Amino acid sequence: SRDPSALMVGGFNRGTGVLDVVEALIKKRLPDKIISDIIELQREYKCNVWGVEAVQFQEFLRTELVKRSAALGVPVPAVGITPHTDKLLRIESLQPHMANQLIRLHPSQKTLIDQLRHFPKADHDDGPDTLHMLWMIALTRSGGMAYEGAKKTEDNSRFGGRGAW
């Protein structure tokens, strides 16, 4: 059976160093659905960068995402990310930042919260692994970018998330 995929959008405040996880969409999807969901999230939030793990099939997925999104007029700024440390250590490194309220989740993000709460014994760790990538992107790629607020659509239910709060 297919592992879930985790798609996340975060808002990072450079002044306070706080990352708010705006969307945490974790579910089983086919590759075409992953691509279309990312394009819709990009259309909605106009993210500065998307990180895609540059291993195995994900690298093909990233290049396909870039091609398809550009053809649709919603270019996704996707970069490949190659993990260099042990996954267990990466995910455990989030704990102090979460305890210090530098990474904030919304109570509606139940799948992510459950995966974090039960880590490393949870059935899946896609959410925590993606959260670590989001945190690293926020810390390393947020400097010098002008802030432009995303325009929230009225239809907040499309992805099952609650959007910005």
Reported as a single tens digit per residue, the pLDDT across 96-115 is 999 999 999 999 999 999 99
Give CA–CA dist 11/165, Å, rounded.
11
Give CA–CA dist 45/150, Å, rounded.
5
All domains of the chain in start order, with CATH: 5-140 (3.30.420.240)
83: its two tokens: 């993990």
Is residue 147's pLDDT more than 80?
no
pTM to 2 decimals?
0.85
The reported pLDDT for the residue numbered 135 is 98
pLDDT band at 165, cuts 50/70/90? very low
Is residue 150's pLDDT more than 80?
no
CA distances from 33 to 117, 119, 140 (A): 27, 27, 28
Query: What residues have CB less than 8 Å from 88, skipping those under 6 apart?
Result: 120
